[in-house]
Structure 1
């Protein structure tokens, strides 16, 4: 049976049995009323900070709330700041449940100052790494006055406790609190991308255990990189080839392959195999599987490539890993543009470039620089950079220590792939003029029509959060909410399926708002035109409601 609804669109009782939902957002009428050019994609609703209904957390004298760990099993948001870690109530972050200080000593501060660093800003302990371990403790690292250190932390009986089991943080955590970095914990093994030294001149992608392993200090591997993010892909899952899981790293760097006088920065994605142990003679304790490729986000007629700033891995739990997507935000590398963009990439497309693509190879030329061209010679077997799979095992190669030197020397000299990775549709899903994008997370939502939509939450340098959806190649910004006042960049974004809340961190504090804000629409027409996949109009109660809140 169908229930009549607004403007001839109906919502079946089978979908939401108890309620007659007025037509949800996605209407031909809404499309015709709100057609704009892509660059004039104006938020349908702008919400000032005093109407954001945000929960805010800030502690006097403490700054840089930029490291977050959701502990949904404990109903906690762990928040790392400068010289402190907080355990906040996941449902209401204004409620501080516990905290622990991790301050540098006067001696450490003096030593840091003597090395030319600012004692009031740089010579402190900025919490940079917060990960859950398999025994339900937390692994935490801080910059520690340019002498990074790591420790274990536990939460019990309402107390947050550092275990004082200090570990060297070099290669795990940055020295410089203002330098970009990335890290991920995979089965108690920390993968990190940061600098190994005080000067910041030795960038590495490293795994700290069970066998310590890192990238080579060669410009062809990492050339003045800015690290962005890391993600794991379970590529061994149901693999017919007996493949290994991968860890992906997104970053930007100066392009070694560019024939240009000025430095050209390009965006990259690299990947390594989780079980890589390094080589026996060549590449000892170095990755044998480090491969990287250029990743493009073509924005209009831009002469210079846009630079990657953040990524989010979106996987549907009901689908295979190959169907996962990476959403990424890009900003211009010149001051002549005020555009930011979001591009989406299929993991299968990225994986294919690494598994089947051609390599680039350096060729010396007369003018004393090195030119990089596509390699057209014979490729050794096993394939350089590949994980150990069933085919390798049949040849008696059961681990990377068994790989022949020819394969290892090839990948040592040629870690760069020839083919650039293009986004879905070879264009961005969103291009917007205005406040520069800083962070992105994406949530898959099933709307009232039964379709699944990807809702993007994008943080900006002005402390606002955009909520946007792409409908059949048309971008729609549902709202822009001012989270931080005065405006300041959003440094981190997380969300919880358990609470339905979004959490943002900045230098001055942390904010929490609901993923869905249906109550802002006060009429059926407003609810429809908001085109928010989270929302529908409840005719019985006469209000715009969250679809998941429909009463049974």
Structure 2
């Protein structure tokens, strides 16, 4: 309690959040993968489909799994164009096992890195039974080929197949973040090239990190200050600055300059530009900061328009996941003009991190070489003075945290934790652009959500894998309009839009899906990207308001006649077409309220022990609200009347599915056929003399005698039981004697 109190006092930025944070409980619609035209790929005996590379130039999805790499058709991943196996030898497995690793699970080759090279070939790395190895792979004539140009993958690819990592191939050079040793105790961010540069092995640089992602921002192309390209690293680590808390994990963003060559004397072959800051994603009711799980770079224009979308999950028991977005310019502002933290020794060995308030050396520590530095004679990082290098070596952490856009999450949702995220931009019918977020969860589903001027709408949830299989990777192809997901057991393909699954105008418009609109002429929900400009007026779409007033009125529905027997319970079905719709029941025009006899459920009305007074006209209306307007999306009417048993049996079939009626008829026919067959067999056997009534009676008499002479137990219950047998046997004997006579 004291630790938490200190956290609240010292770190208010971690816990504060706007009072009106956008909490959401459920999507408007739930779809299955098959119902939406999705596809699943899996190969017998292959697991861990968690590495993907989009090769839109080849029309392929390159899929990395355990000891196998696949080339799948981009438009239909069930069509396998090629496959290559990359297995470890028995000797490598044995060596891995002797070091204490699981032979069947860990001592395999998990494909972890897939990057496209300049010449069209691919750079691929695998864990190789805790001995990471990289190779070159090519695709020609529907064949994947590993070129056997193997090289050491230490520092590029993780040893542990279940350890998080990050990598990016930039201008032929691999930037990576992983552990550089077998035990996983030496984390490193490095550039593998002729001039290899890496981080220091200091807890002030990386302290038990969990690497999340890495992104390249080509800032040097259009920067007016002559700045360099940046490599951004996203990770989670144990905080060093909150010494009053036992172990607190925080989310970080770090940055290095692409052309950093290290220092001349200080920080030789080490980053001179490594700086890091805390990423805040404030959520109310969360006692501890949320932890980042994935990040996606979205750049609608040049580098200055780039936004990083990140998903966060709790490290306490709040069960709230969140999405926060960060402008690259806001991150740059913190690194370029923010204050640093510095360690201060308190008492004997206690170190406390506080804001550094002294003067900064020139050039600014952690900055890239820009025009101002060049004018002063600093042309590359090797020219930087020792004061600048010593400062950043000891103080890589910024005092100020990076806040999300509008200082609040875009989405907060209780339920299965978020795992991955990708973002696509699409143009609506009115020409406006919208960012659509696709969010993977630990329950194997993908959420589709859009933010309309601060109002977050969760359009749908697509169940791609089983609920026990988390989404481990998401990739997006705008070329074919498909989303790809990977899990431990399979890879899935999902279309970006589900327009054809909206059966009515109200359903289509109230979905507020920027991909969809209702065509009044064709009377169907269509993709707006396929609508000709001259027919825009015939298509209804209202994203900001969900205004469905242009939808044609739905005609009345014929009432369903239902008869019931007094004293029995009745259920009147009414399944709402949307998770956001409210079910309202009326009886003879008056509202039905829940009571001891009337139970209103999500999918219908249950009338318990119905009496004759329960008769009447029951109407179910599903009402969905949108910006203060109510729309009746469904209307079902039942005429409930008491009746005879035969009439009840007939009427019960009417509101049920035809499948149930068909099943009942089939069972009745089977019973009749079996009865006739049995009767025919008995007549035939009597006719042939195979058995006689007297013989049958003698057999039964003998059987009854055996029952009568069974040994009796001393128990009272058993004695009573046997006496009942005696009485029944005596009656049988009298009957049999009369029959013989």
> TM-score, normalised on structure 2?
0.68
Q: Secondary structure at the match of 1:326?
A: strand
Partners of 1:370 and 1:165 in 2: CA distance? 48
Matched, 1:510 2:491: yes
Within-5 A mapping of 1:352-391: 352-366=333-347, 368-391=349-372
Structure with the larger RCO, 1 or 2 (CA within 8 Å, 6+ apart): 1
Matched, 1:241 2:225: yes
Aligned-pair distance for 1:37? 9.2
**Residues 247-267 of structure 1: per-residue CA shift (max 9 Å, x gap):** 000001000001224100000
2:163 to 157, 160, 179: 179
* Alignment partner of 1:65 out of 38, 49, 59: 49
Q: Please give the per-residue CA displacement for 1:45-88, whole angstroms capped at 9, x wherever unaligned.
A: 01134424211100000000000000000000000000000000
Q: 2:504 aligns with which of 523, 527, 543?
A: 523
Corresponding position of 1:439: 420
Partner of 1:8 in structure 2? Answer: none
Residue of structure 2 aligned with 1:461, choices 434, 442, 451 = 442
Q: How far off its partner does 1:301 sit?
A: 3.2
Distance 1:406 1:490, change over 3 A: same
Structure number with larger C-alpha Rg = 2
How many angstroms apart in 2 are the aligned matches of 1:89 and 1:302? 44
Of 117, 124, 130, which aligns to 1:133?
A: 117
d(CA) in 1 for partners of 2:463, 2:67? 27
Equivalent residue for 2:251?
267
Aligned to 2:388: 407
1:216 is aligned to: 200
Q: CA deviation at 1:183?
A: 0.6
Equivalent position SS for 1:236: helix
Q: Which runs of 5+ in 2 are unaligned?
A: 1-19, 534-741
Verify the 8 A CA contact 1:382 1:392 in the aligned structure 2: yes
Verify the 8 A CA contact 1:313 1:325 in the aligned structure 2.
yes
**For the aligned residues, what is the CA RMSD?**
1.3
The match for 1:230 is 214
Distance in 1 of aligned mates of 2:228 and 2:348: 42
* Alpha carbons 2:21, 2:408 under 8 Å: kept: no
- State the distance in 2 between where 1:542 and 1:37 align: 38
CA contact (8 A) 1:128 1:143 kept: yes
* Alignment counterpart, residue 306 of structure 1, candidates 259, 281, 290: 290
Counterpart in 1 of 2:175?
191
**Hey, which of these two has a bigger chunk of helix by percent?**
2
* Number of the residue aligned with 2:622: none
SS at match of 1:130: strand
User: Which residue pairs with 1:323 in the alignment?
Assistant: 305
In structure 2, how many angstroms separate the alpha carbons of the residues matched to 1:330 and 1:281?
A: 40
Query: The residue matched to 2:131 in structure 1 has which SS?
Result: coil
8 Å CA contact 2:213–2:235 kept in 1: the answer is yes
* Equivalent pair of 1:41/1:475 in contact (CA under 8 Å): no
Which residue of the partner structure matches residue 475 of structure 1?
456
Distance across 1 between alignment mates of 2:199 and 2:245: 27
CA distance 1:313–1:365, change in 2 (3 Å): same
Q: Distance in 2 between matches of 1:517 and 1:242?
A: 46
1:86-235 alignment, distance < 5 Å: 86-235=70-219
1:294 maps to what in 2? Answer: 278
Task: Report how far residue 42 of structure 1 moved.
Answer: 1.6
- The CA deviation string for residues 383-412 of structure 1, in whole angstroms up to 9 with x for no partner, is 111101111111221111111111111100
Aligned to 1:537: 518
Contact persistence 1:41–1:476 (CA under 8 A): no
Q: Separation in 1 of the partners of 2:318 and 2:24? A: 15
1:418 to 376, 399, 411: 399
How many angstroms does 1:536 deviate by?
1.2
Q: What are the superposed Cα offsets for residues 363-398 of structure 1, whole Å, 9 maximum, x if unpaired?
A: 000152210111111101011111011111112211
- Aligned 8 A contact 1:314 1:327 in 2: yes
Separation in 2 of the partners of 1:200 and 1:408?
28
* Deviation sequence 1:189-239 (CA, Å, 0-9, x none): 111110000000000111101411100000000000000001111111221
5+ long unaligned stretches in structure 1: 1-35
Q: CA shift at 1:522, angstroms?
A: 1.2
Q: Secondary structure at the match of 2:390?
A: helix
TM normalised by structure 1 equals: 0.92
Q: How far 1:163 sits from its partner (Å)?
A: 0.5
> Which is further off, 320-329 or 344-353?
320-329
